[in-house]
Amino acid sequence: MEERILEFIGDLRRAELRISTAEALDALAASAEVGLTDRETFKATLASTLVKEARDEDTFNRIFNLYFLDLEALGEGLKKALGPEDPKVQDQLDRLANEENLDLDELTELLMRGQGSEMEMAIRSGSQNAGLERLMYFLQVGFFSRRISDQFDWSAIERDIERIMQALEARGLDPGQLARIRNYLELRLEAFRRMIRQHVQRELERRAYRAGERLTREVLADKPLFALTPDEVAQMKNVVAKLARRIKDALALRQRQEHKGRIDTRRTTRKSLSYGGVPMEIFLKRRHREKPKLITICDVSDSVRNASRFMLQLVWSLQECFSRVRSYVFVSEIAEVTQAFSLHPVERAIEWALKGAPVDYHCRSDFGFAFSRFANTELESLDRKTTILLLGDARNNYNDPQAWALRQIRERVKGIIWLNPEGQWGWGIGDSVMPLYAPACDIVRECRTIGQLGEVVDHLVYQWWRRGR
Amino acid sequence: MFESVEEVQQRFRDARYIANRRISTVIFLAARMGRPVLIEGPAGVGKTELAKTLSDVTGRALIRLQCYEGLDEGKALYEWQYAKQLLYTQLLRERIGELIADAPSLPEAVSRIAGQDDAFFSYRFLSPRPLLQAIRSEEPVVLLIDEIDKAEPEFEAFLLEVLSDFQVSIPELGTVKSRHIPLVVLTSNNARELSDGLKRRCLHLFIDFPVPADELEIIRLKVPEAPERLARAVVAAVQKIRTLELRKPPSVSESIDWARSLVILNAKELDPVLVESTLTMLVKYEKDIERVKGALDKVLAGTPA
C-alpha cells in the first residue's frame, strides 16, 4: 500500500501540488495510524497531511478517486454481478474448506470466499509485471487485460473447481445443489475477469489524466494567446486566478519594520517613565506602506480579443483582491467598467466588457484618441501611487498616435506598464506605433503567452511594487 | 488519549460538538502523532469552538493566544519585567551594601554580587505569556493559537521554531523544555497566505459550512428548545441563502443565533414577514440583505409552511 500512496503523491506533485518529503512521510505514518478500513477516514488522513491549500482540494479529490477505489461501491457491484446473495452455498463452501485439506490455488481460495478488496489487491499484484506503463490507448485495454489474466493459473483454478465439486459430490449433495454451487463459482470467476478489465481501464484513465494535465500546462503556457481555442481559454482560467492570487499575497504581506525608521519620541518617553526616566525600550515610528492603486486600461478590439479575455480575467480578479483598482476598456472610445466588474461574476463581466460596454466595437482601434480622452477626463484623479497597466497591440490603424497624451499621463503617476500581446519583431512595423509610446512607459513587455504573463506578474510583484515601499 | 476515530466522534458529540468524519480523523491523528492542527475555513464555522471542545473532551486546560497585527514575542512568549527588577534592586540597596561592605577588593565584591544572580534572574521577574505557559505547564494542555493570519510573517517563523521542538531559550534563565507535548490548534481566516513551513509542520483541516443533516443536528443540540419543524425550516432556509452569492454568507453561529431569536419570538414556522424582520440576525451587509429579500420566495420555497 505504501507504494500506492507514494505513487499517488507523485501524481499530486505532477498536478502542481507542492508536497515535501516530510509531508509524504507524514502521510505514510498517518495512514498507518488509521488503517485502510474506512475509506472516508483514509481520505481525510491523506488530505490533512498532503493538501495544505483549500484550492487544491478538487485536484486531490479527483486524483484520489482515480487511485483508491471505492471498495464499498465495488463490493456492491460485485454483489450485483453475483445476483442475490447465497449464504447457503457460501456456508457449504466454508465448511468444505475448513474440514478438508484440498490444497487449493490462492486464487481459488479468493474466489471461494474473498472480498472485493482482496480481489483488487490480487489483480494489482498480478499487474505488476504486465508492463502497464506502455498502456496508452483504449484499444490496448483488451491486450493488457489478457496479459494480466495470464499471470493467474486459470487451468489450476478449473482443476480446483472440479476437485471442489467432486469433494462436494462425495459428501452426498444432490445434483440440484451441486449445479447451484457450480453456477455460483463460475459467476465469481466471471466477475473476477471483469474486474481485471476494469482495473486496466482505470489505469488508462489515470494515465490519460496525467498526460493531459502535463500537456495542458506545458503546451498552453507557451501557446500564443491569439491561437487558443475557447476550450483552452476556459482551461487556463485557473492559471490566471493563480496569478492574481500571487499578486494579492505578495502585497498583502504586511512587513514589520521594527528595526528601521525614526524614533517615536512620545511612546519612548512614556515607556521610560516606568524605568525612572531611563529609555529602556525604544519605540520606532511605523512607516505606513502605501497601498498600491491600480488602473487597468484594456484594448478590446477584435485583433487582440483572446489576449483581452485573459487580461480582463486578471483585471477582474485583481479588482476582487484590491479595493483600489479601476478598470477601463477602449476601442477608440474609452469607458470605465469598474462598476460592472465588481457587480458581475467573472464570465458575465468579461462577456459584457467584450461586447456590451459603452464603447463602439465596430470602429478601428485608435489608441491616440483613447489616451487623449483619458488624459482630458481622468488626469485629475491620478496620483503618484497609481500604476497604470495597459494592454494593447499598439496597432493604431494609421491614426494620430497622440503620444503626448500618454506622456502627460505618465507625469502624474507612479508608472505605466505596457503589455503587448504581439511579438516584439512586429513592433514599429506597419501601423504599429509601439516605439512612439514606449518612451513614456516604464516597462514594456511582450505578453504573447500565459507563460509570459506569469513572468510579468512576477516582475510586478517582486520589483515594481517592492521598489516603492 | 483516543483509541479510534469513532471514539473521537462520539466524545465530541457528547460534548455537544458535531464533528464530521474528517474533523474527527484529523483530531485523532493530531493526538496520535503530536502534531499541531491548522484549521482554515470561513468565519463562524466553529474553528475556535473545536479547540475549546477538545480541551473539554480531553480534560486539559485551554491556553489561548489571540493573534493580532503587531503581536510579538514579548506578548506571546514572555516579558522580562525590568521595572520590577529595578525596583527590587533599589529597595534592596542597603542589603546589597551590607553584602559587599567587608569585601577586601573590587573583584571580590563583584563575585559576591554574582553569587546572588539567582535572586535577580529568576522566574519572579518573568511574566509568562501563553506560549511559555503552555510549555512550562505541569499538566498537559491544549494550546489555541487563534487567527494566526492576523500576525506578521515574522511571528509565524518564530512560532514555527517553538512548535517544532517545544522548547524556548530565555537568555537570563536558560532553556525551558516542555514536559508534555501540548495539543496545538491554530486557526486562520485566510486573510493572507500562511508560510509553507508552517503548513508543512501542521495537519491541515479545512472546515466548510456543514451539510444540511449536520447543521440540523447542530441546531438541535445548541437550540434544544426550538421545535423540530422550525429547526428544519431554519436549516433549509440558511442552506439556500448560502447559495445566493452573498458577500458574507451566514455561518453556523449565525444560524444558531437566528434559531434562538426565532424561538424567543415564539415562532413555530417561517413566514416571509418574520424572516424579513429577523434577517439582520443572519445577514450582515446591506447589499446582502437586499439580495436575500429579493429572493425570499426561493429561500422559503419547499420549507414546511
Q: How far, in Å, CA of A9 to CA of A15, rounded?
A: 10
**Cα(A19)–Cα(A49) distance, integer angstroms:** 9
Query: Which residue on chain B is closest to A57 by alpha carbon?
Result: B206
CB nearest to B83's CB, from A18, A255, A275: A275
Phi, psi for A220 (deg, rounded to 5):
-65, -30
Cα–Cα dist A363/A366, whole Å: 9
Assess if residue B243 is contained within a domain.
yes
Cβ B152–A256 below 8 Å, yes or no? Answer: yes
The single-letter DSSP state of residue A225 is: G
Residue-wise pLDDT for A287-305, tens only, equals: 655 667 888 898 888 777 7
pLDDT at A213 over 70: no
Which residues are bridge partners to A416 per DSSP? A388
What percentage of chain A has pLDDT greater than the value 70? 83
> Quick check: A288 contacting B, CB < 8 Å?
no
Spell out which residues of chain B touch residue A252, defining contact as CB-CB under 8 Å. Answer: 191-193
Shortest Cα distance, chain A CAs vs residue B229, angstroms = 31
What is the domain-level CATH number for residue B16?
A: 3.40.50.300
Q: Do A249 and B35 touch (CB under 8 A)?
A: no
Residue of B nearest to A23 (CA): B200
In chain B, the number of structural domains is: 3
pLDDT in tens, B56-100: 999 999 999 999 888 888 888 888 888 888 888 888 888 888 888
What is the predicted pLDDT for the residue at A255? 47
Domain end position, chosen among B87, B103, B125: B125
CA dihedral angle for residue B138, residue B139, residue B142, residue B144, rounded to 10 degrees: -30
Let me know if residue B145 belongs to a domain: yes
Cβ pairs A/B, distance under 8 A = 80
Does residue A84 register a pLDDT over 70? no
Contact A254 B152 (CB under 8 A): yes
Residue B146: what pLDDT? 93
pLDDT over 50 (residue B153): yes
Q: Are B204 and A48 in contact (CB under 8 A)?
A: yes
Min mean pLDDT across A38-47, A129-138, B13-22, B244-253 is at: A129-138
Does B229 share its domain with B270? yes
| Chain A nearest CA to B218, separation (Å) | 21
B295 plus B165 within the same structural domain = no
Residue B170 lies in a domain: yes
Distance separating alpha carbons of residues A165 and A158, to the nearest angstrom: 11
Determine contact: A277 vs chain B, CB below 8 A: no
Cα separation, A174 vs A67, in Å, equals: 45
Chain A contacts of B26, Cβ < 8 Å?
A: 44, 48
Whether chain B has a CB inside 8 Å of the CB on A175: the answer is: no
Distance from CA of B248 to the nearest CA of A (A): 14
Q: Is residue B148 part of a domain?
A: yes
Is pLDDT larger for residue B230 or for residue A449? B230
Q: Which of A261-265, A369-373, A427-431, B300-304 has the highest mean pLDDT?
A: A369-373
Dist CA B48 CA B55 (whole Å): 11
How far is A258 from A285, CA to CA, in rounded Å? 8
Query: Is pLDDT of A212 > 50?
Result: yes
Residue A253 pLDDT exceeds 60: no
Q: Tell me the percentage of chain A whose pLDDT exceeds 90.
A: 8
First to last CA, chain A: 51
Q: Which residue reads 476494469 in cell numbers?
A: A198
Q: Which amino acid is at A391?
A: L
β-partners of residue B141 are: B61
**Mean pLDDT on A227-255:** 67
Count of all residues that appear for chain B in the document: 305
| One domain, residues B21 and B167 | yes
Going across the sheet that includes B183-188, the strands are B61-66, B141-146, B183-188, B37-40, B203-206
Mean pLDDT, to the nearest integer, of A321-349? 81
Residues B58 and B158 in one domain: yes
The answer to the question of residue B305 being in a domain is: no
**Same domain, yes or no: B241 and B96:** no
Q: Which residues of A86-105 are buried (b: 16+ CB within 10 A; e: fewer)?
A: beebeebbeebbeeeebebb
DSSP state of B129: -
One domain for residues B35 and B166 = yes
Look up cell 485495454; give the residue. A141
Higher pLDDT, B9 or A101: B9
Contact A252/B28, CB-based, under 8 Å? no
For B154, the closest of A29, A41, A256 (CB atoms) is: A256
Are residues B175 and B278 located together in one domain of the fold? no
Q: In terms of residue numbers, what domain contains B237?
A: 212-300
Whether the per-residue pLDDT at B225 is higher than 80: the answer is yes
Distance (Å, whole) CA B23 – CA A34: 14
Residues B234-244: tens digit of each pLDDT: 999 999 998 88
Q: Which residues contact B243 (CB under 8 A, 6 or more apart)?
A: none
Q: What pLDDT does A257 receive?
A: 44
Q: How far apart are CA A95 and CA A112, in angstroms?
A: 11
CB pair distance less than 8 Å for A249 and B199 = no
Residue A349 sits at the chain B interface (C-beta within 8 Å): no
Average pLDDT, chain A: 79
Amino acid at A292: P
CB B171 within 8 A of CB B180: no
Residues of B with CB under 8 A from a CB of A: 5, 21-22, 25-26, 28-29, 32-33, 35, 38, 40, 69-70, 72, 82-83, 86, 152-154, 190-193, 196, 199-200, 202-206, 245
CA distance A108 to chain B (A): 35
Q: Is A34's CB within 8 Å of B205's CB? A: no
Whether A437 has a pLDDT exceeding 60, the answer reads yes
Residues A369-396: pLDDT tens digits? 999 999 988 888 888 888 898 988 888 8
Do the Cβ atoms of A33 and B33 come within 8 Å? yes
Q: Using a CB–CB cutoff of 8 Å, tell me whether A339 touches chain B.
A: no
Sign (positive/negative) of CA torsion A72, A74, A80, A81? negative
pLDDT of residue A258: 45
Q: Which residue type occupies B104?
A: P
DSSP string, B70-104: T--HHHHTEEE-HHHHHHHHHHTHHHHHHHHHT-S
Q: For residue A217, what pLDDT is reported?
A: 62
Nearest-CB residue to B25 (from A41, A249, A253)? A41
Please indicate, yes or no, whether residues B217 and B105 belong to a single structural domain of this protein.
no
Cβ contacts of B25 on chain A, cutoff 8 Å: 34, 40-41, 44-45, 48
B-facing residues of A in 393-452 (CB < 8 A) are none
Instruction: Output the pLDDT for position A302.
Output: 79
Report d(CA A227, CA A137) in Å as an integer: 28
Residue B17 sits in the same domain as residue B162: yes
- Rounded-to-integer distance, Cα B252 and Cα B46, Å: 8
Q: Chain B partners of A26 at a C-beta cutoff of 8 Å?
A: 33, 35, 203
- A75 pLDDT exceeds 60? no
Cell readout for B138 is 505541569
How many Å apart are CA A80 and CA B27, to the nearest integer? 37
Distance CA A231, CA B282 (A): 40
pLDDT per residue as tens digits for the range A48-58: 999 988 778 88
Which of B174, B172, B78 is closest to B121 using CA atoms? B172
Cβ(A324)–Cβ(A283) under 8 Å? Answer: no
Tell me, what's the pLDDT at A176? 82
A190 contacts chain B (CB < 8 A): no
* pLDDT at A259 > cutoff 60: no
Least confidently predicted of A74-83, A98-107, A303-312:
A74-83
Residues B269 and B216 in one domain: yes
Classify residue B132: in a domain, yes or no.
no
Is the model more confident about A323 or about B280? B280
Q: Does B246 map to a domain?
A: yes
Q: Of A17-31, A70-84, A146-160, give the lowest mean pLDDT range.
A: A70-84
Chain B contact for A280, CB < 8 A? yes
- pLDDT at residue A136 tops 80: no
Q: What DSSP letter does each residue of B148-212 carry, written as one string?
A: GGGS-HHHHHHHHHHHHH-EEEETTTEEEE-SSPPEEEEEE--SSPPPHHHHHHSEEEE--PPPH
B205 neighbors B35 (Cβ within 8 angstroms): no
Residues B154-187 have pLDDT tens digits of 788 888 888 888 888 888 788 888 888 899 999 9
The rounded distance, in Å, linking the Cα atoms of A289 and A257 is: 10
CB neighbours (10 Å) of residue B133?
17
Query: What is the predicted pLDDT for the residue at B10?
Result: 93
Locate the chain B residue with the closest alpha carbon to A48: B204
Identify whether residues B165 and B67 lie together within a single domain: yes
The length of chain A is: 469
- The β-bridge relationship of strands A386-391 and B167-170 is unpaired
Contacts of A54 in chain B (CB under 8 A): 40, 190, 206
B1, B2, B3, B5, best to mutate vs chain A, most A CBs in 10 Å: B5
Under 8 Å between Cβ of A418 and A444: yes
Helix axes A39-50, A57-67, angle to 10 degrees: 130
- 3-class secondary structure, B12: helix
Residues A67, A70: Cα–Cα separation, whole Å: 9
Confidence band (pLDDT; 50, 70, 90) for A252? low
Domain boundary among the residues B150, B181, B206 is at B206
Question: What is the structure's pLDDT at B305?
Answer: 44
DSSP state letter for A284: B
Rounded to whole angstroms, the Cα distance separating A409 from B17 reads: 59
Q: Is residue B266 part of a domain?
A: yes
Residues B85 and B214: their CA atoms lie apart, in Å, by 55
Q: Which helix (H) or strand (E) holds B227?
A: none
Q: Among A52, A254, A276, whose Cβ lies nearest the Cβ of B199?
A: A52
Chain B partners of A249 at a C-beta cutoff of 8 Å? Answer: 192-193
> If 0-12 CB within 10 Å is exposed, 13-18 middle and 19+ buried, where does residue A278 land?
exposed
Q: What is the DSSP string of A2-66?
A: HHHHHHHHHHHHHTT----HHHHHHHHHHHHHH-SS-HHHHHHHHHHHH--SGGGHHHHHHHHHH
**B51 vs A71 pLDDT, higher one:** B51
Average pLDDT over residues A350-368: 82
A426-444: average pLDDT: 89
Chain B residues with beta carbon closer than 8 angstroms to that of A255: 152-153
Mean pLDDT of A70-96: 64
Query: A22 φ, ψ to 5°?
Result: -60, -40
Alpha carbon of residue B35 to chain centroid: 16
Please indicate, yes or no, whether residues B114 and B143 belong to a single structural domain of this protein: no
Cβ neighbours of A20 in B, within 8 Å: 200
| pLDDT: which is higher, A253 or A316 | A316
How is chain A split among helix, strand and coil, in percent rounded to 5?
65, 10, 25
For residue B57, the model assigns a pLDDT of 93
Closest of B37, B72, B273 to residue B153, by C-alpha: B72
Instruction: Of A322-326, A397-401, A428-432, give the lowest mean pLDDT range.
Output: A322-326
Dihedral of alpha carbons B77, B82, B83, B85, sign: positive
* Nearest partner of A141 among A152, A151, A130, judged by Cα: A130
Interface test with A, best of B21, B23, B29, B125 (most A CBs within 10 A): B29
Backbone angles phi, psi at A349, to 5 degrees: -60, -45
| Amino acid at site B206 | F
- Which residues are CB-neighbours of A1 under 8 A, at least 6 positions away? A31, A36
